[in-house]
Amino acid sequence: MGQDESAVNVSVSAGARGGVPLLRVAGEIDMATAPGVRAEVLGWLETAVPVAVLDLTGVSFLASNGLALLAEAAQHAHERGAVFAVAADHHAVLKPLDITGMREVLTVRPDVDRAVAAVRGLAAGPVADQPFSSVSVCGLPTGLDWEDPRRRR
């Protein structure tokens, strides 16, 4: 049989722009995908100090699990003395941030360049731009999309 049309794909890739570590997340962040994305974001933040940008411009759905992930990521960065910004331009991300008031707490910019500009001057030293590399989500390689097997019929 064919694949269930409601299957959720999420991809995560890491690199840097303008000397700032950057993690791109694309797809849906919901109950099924949030734990894997959370592990990757928190692990990435361990290496991204003193500044980091989380690019959510490719996220098409952000459930409450995703909001919790963002709050935890911001706290994690703060505890390590990192400046943390989010790039988001889709109403599927911005609306939940507005409704919950998280947009007032997080540094949110409409694109990666503006998010990088918001944190660039605070870096202790430059990080060379790197090509994006795959990281895993739930132990599966991503550079490709990851399909949550629980969403298959």
Architecture of domain 10-120+133-139: 2-Layer Sandwich (3.30)
Q: What is the pLDDT of residue 144?
A: 33
What is the pLDDT confidence band of residue 122, given thresholds at 50, 70 and 90? low
Phi, psi at 111, each rounded to 5°: -155, 170
How much is the average pLDDT of 16-23?
Answer: 89
pTM of the model: 0.76
Question: Would you put residue 12 in left (φ > 0), alpha (ψ -120 to 50) or beta?
Answer: beta
Kindly list the domain boundaries of the chain, sorted by start residue.
Answer: 10-120+133-139
pLDDT tens per residue, range 53-100: 999 999 999 999 999 999 999 999 989 888 899 999 999 999 999 999
What is the pLDDT confidence band of residue 106, given thresholds at 50, 70 and 90? very high
Give the separation between CA 135 and CA 143, rounded to whole angstroms: 7
